[in-house]
Structures are given as structure tokens and as C-alpha cells.
Structure 1
């Protein structure tokens, strides 16, 4: 007969305790850390997910990493402070060319616009020669990159060299435009919607620009980006996140009441502004990424490389279809 010592009893008890706790630990969901700019469109999506319990329905532990602006999100991803960010695939493509194993899934095809005031004498892109153009972001913002490529193709000149671009944060360039200190403003779609509701009108939409560059269909430029290795090694449920996002977008596509609930986050200046933002958002809701989008993205990348330089596309950037999550 085997004699149990105090140590063996304690060891057995510890093993039983660990075994009884194991299912509880195993069932715990792995969190997803997603970046969000406060009051940006992703925050509206997150609010809808939580208000409708879509995250709980899919057992998604969604944790938000608030960043000050869109430029801070890539820093959060590369530093390991976030698992998933929302950014442009043009940036992700540059990073992938540097060796980062990034993946991209579409979030929105809504694009910004080049806006002018309702009584502006500017009627075409050519009329902006010698004029001040406010540009949200920096010199490598995707919309500015494409507008420069478009101007080279249609005008035979780089709009950056024949006009006076003024770069700044989206709210700042919008205010400068409204105060008459800029002749036009190229801004993100949320700000373009607000300006349109206030009486400004579109000189060019970025969809017009993409089509003018001969790209069809217009590939969604903004999406969820993550490190393939980090997601695999840490079992981060990105696929579950994408499912939750798709369900929340179904709510936002069909429910006007959902947008009324978002009013405190959106802070529209008028009912017309809320409607404009709602309609812009809905127009940008996209499906999955397929072969047609990959082909269009390749054509756009090749065109930017052909027309551009290292400032436009990044030194050594080449198209890589493996970036895109299909």
C-alpha cells in the first residue's frame, strides 16, 4: 500500500485545484486592442457594437486604445501598444516592403473631398494654381498623394508645385477654410460632410480622382491593419472582430435611430449635418476584399510608383497582394 506524505497530498490537491480552474481560464477570451480617435467614425462603430451587445454576442473582449490622431495609430501598432488599427493600406504596403508582416481588411470606402465655398470662383482643379489649398494631415496623406498623381495626369503639372498647400490637423484646416483664409480644402470625409452641410460644395471627390486615374472598382483605402505574426502567436481573434464590425455596420446602414443615438458623439451643428455624415458613412460601408479589389489596388500602386517618387510611395515600395485579407 502506498503511503501519502503531506507533500504528496498538497501536490495532489494543487493539481486538482489547477485542473478545476483550467476550464475557466481556457474559456476566457483573448482581448483585441483596437485604436480609436475620440469622436472619430471608429468611435461611432464601437459605441454601436457595445450599445447593441454585438461584442458580447460573439464573446469578443474588445479593448479600446485611444489615440490623439490618425497619425498616432501606426505608432501604437508598431510599438505593440495595440493589436489592430484603422489606417490606409498604402501605409501598410510601405511597411510590408520594409519587412513588416502586416495584413489589411477593408473598413470603409468613404473618401474625402476637395471642397470650395459656395460662392468660390474656383470651378476646376486648374483654377487652384497659385491658390492656397488646406490639406488635412501631412504630405504623405493618401488623398493628397492621389490628388497630386491626378493633377500630373490631367494637368501635366504637380498641384503641390503650382499651388500653395497648407498642411494641418483636420479641424484646423476646416476652420481656416470657413474663415476664408484658404481657397480650397482637402479633408477627410467626416469634415467634408460637415462643410457640405454648411453650404460648401465638392470641387472633386476622391472617388472622382480615383476614377480619373483609371482605377475601377475603387478599392477601399481605409481598413483594419494588424501583424500576422502577432495575431497568430497570441491567438488574437481578428476574424471575430471583423464579424462584429460587419454586424454593427448592418445596424448603421439600416437604422436612423442608431444615428440619433450617436448624436452626442458626432456633435452635429444641425440636423442636416447629421444626415450628411450618416449618408457619407453609409456610402462607404464595404464588403469583403476580393480579386477585383486586389487588381485595382495593384493598378493604383503601380500608377503612384510611375508618377511619384519616394515622398509619394516610399523608397522600395512594391505591390504585395499578400497584404490583403481575403
Structure 2
């Protein structure tokens, strides 16, 4: 496995859920091996592409590589077990700094939120000082780093010093919040949507945080990532995949029936929960990537480096506009 750290391998655990894939010469000519976390939003997109016959329309064969986590997806790409993965461009930027010729095309601008109980008096970041705040991830999670910067800008104080952060996996901090043991929770968008459907209130979106830090427009943080050389050398039809994604998202943006079709994959417990997730997803559908998005991504990269993002700084990452596929 090329240049994959021991830490990444441990984090991946049982990385690939699917059986080992066939070498590319035995795959269909128009095949793309796309990684997907089981029941994640990419699986919803894949189901829509297939159900609507979009893959046949654009001449694409999707060979789905099921993975257990985003760390496993990264390993799948770097070890040539997948042609395309969905991950954040900051990870891809780090890999370009190491010499990988990765490319990124936007998938979603959906971001997480700070959620509070419906009856909480908290209205702004200042009201969370001295409170117990659940954080999905770790102390080096980008949303937490950005929230800390936002708190310093808005209040002159670092919320990490003025509150009691509780770090953990998204499901864990969600349950802690539901149990009333947390005053607020900073969570990924899917969990924020589910909490909103249960009656929690969005106090602050990460979109508000990013805007508050002077980054505009908000660049899609999550997107399709592939090796430019592999795609060119092996004729992998990434363009067909991106076309299929746009057509499928056009369906998901307008058809409520399409959401009923993928309801079993989303695993919701109520119509209200489905509607909340649908609305968050729709708000994150992108219009593409251009010069303005590249400039915003550069500003965010430099901001994260300035804030001391351990992974970016530790890897000596520098912004590279050639990462972005336009």
C-alpha cells in the first residue's frame, strides 16, 4: 500500500466491505469503481442513478466499492481498489503536497451545525461559554477548528478554553445530546437534520461560521476525488460519472417521490426526519466549480493552516489550484 500511514490503516479497520475487485482489464469499458459508505448519501445518489436509468443513458457502468468509513475510502483510492472516492478536498490537497496527482470535483456544500435544545436560551456563540458542547470528531476536526476561530472573532475568547468540549463519534455525541447531558452539539449535517426533526434547534450553521470568517462563496468541502494520471492512462470515464451525478441530483432536487424510493437507505423513523434530511441535502447541491470557488478554497486553506490545523501543517500542505476540476 503506497504511502498510507499506520494511523490511517488502523482507523480504517475492516476497510473494504466488498469482495476484492477485478483488475480493470476485466471490467466493462465504461466502468467506474466508485466508493460508497453503506447508507451514506452517495448510496442514495447511486440508487437514484440506477433507478432513473441515468447510468444507461450516459453510457456508464458503476462498480460500487462499499467501504466502512471515509478513512477506508482514502485507502481504497491510494491502493487502487477504487477509481473515485467521495471525500473532502483538504485531504486531497494534503495528498497533492505528497506528490499524488489527485483531482477534485464538487459534490456537496452541506455542512454541519451547532444544535441546541428547542427551549435553550442560547442564541449565539457567546451563550455557549461555560457550557458542555459535544463535538463530532476530535480536537483537530475542521469544523471545531473553524468554530474556535469564529468564537475568537465574535467574542474575543476561544470557546475551547471557555467551555467544556466533549469529543466523540457522531452517534455517541448525538445520544449524549438526546439524553440531556450536553448543552449543545456540533455535528455533521445528517445528524443535525435528524436532531432538528426531533425538535432540536439549529443555533448556528457551519455555513454561518465560514461566512463569518470572511470566506465566500462557501466552497463545497466534499467531492469526487481521483488520480488524474490513472484516469487518463486507463480511460476511466469520470466525465460520465459527473454527468450522471448532475442528472441524479436534478431528480433529488425536485422529486419527493425519489426520496420515498431511497427512504429504506436513509433509515428514518418519521416523515419529518426524511423531510429534514431531504432539505439539508437539497441545500447542499452544487452548481459547479469556478474561479470564485477556487479563490474561496484558497482562503479557507490558508485560514486552516494559520489556525494550526495539525494535519495540514504537519504535512507541509500548500494550496494548489490544479487540484480542482473545472
Asked if TM exceeds 0.5, the reply is yes
Contact kept? 2:107, 2:224, Cα under 8 Å: yes
CA RMSD of aligned residues (A): 2.0
Is the partner of 1:71 in helix, strand or coil?
helix
Larger radius of gyration: 1
Residue matched to 1:293: 293
**In structure 2, what is the Cα distance between the partners aligned to 1:60 and 1:278?**
26
Deviations 1:63-116 (A, max 9, x none): 111111233221222222211111111111122112221111000111110111
Residue matched to 1:51: 51
**In structure 1, what is the Cα distance between the partners aligned to 2:145 and 2:56?**
40
Is 1:229 equivalent to 2:229 in the alignment? yes
The 5 A counterparts of 1:202-221 are 202-221=202-221
Is 1:241 equivalent to 2:236 in the alignment? no
Is the partner of 1:114 in helix, strand or coil?
strand
Count of residue correspondences: 302
TM-score normalised by L of structure 1: 0.87
Residue matched to 1:259: 259
Is 1:114 equivalent to 2:114 in the alignment? yes
Residue matched to 1:61: 61
Contact kept? 2:176, 2:182, Cα under 8 Å: yes
Residue matched to 2:151: 151
Gaps of 5+ in 2: 1-24
Go from structure 1 to structure 2 and tell me whether the alpha carbon gap of 1:192 and 1:26 turns closer, same or farther (over 3 Å shift). closer
Residue matched to 1:308: 308
Contact kept? 1:149, 1:307, Cα under 8 Å: yes
Residue matched to 2:22: none
**In structure 1, what is the Cα distance between the partners aligned to 2:212 and 2:115?**
17
Deviation at 1:309, TM superposition (A): 4.7
Deviation at 1:297, TM superposition (A): 0.9
Go from structure 1 to structure 2 and tell me whether the alpha carbon gap of 1:28 and 1:121 turns closer, same or farther (over 3 Å shift). closer
Deviation at 1:33, TM superposition (A): 1.3
**182-191 or 135-144, which moves further after superposition?**
135-144
Is the partner of 1:85 in helix, strand or coil?
strand
Deviation at 1:288, TM superposition (A): 1.5
Go from structure 1 to structure 2 and tell me whether the alpha carbon gap of 1:120 and 1:97 turns closer, same or farther (over 3 Å shift). same
TM-score normalised by L of structure 2: 0.87
Contact kept? 1:136, 1:169, Cα under 8 Å: yes
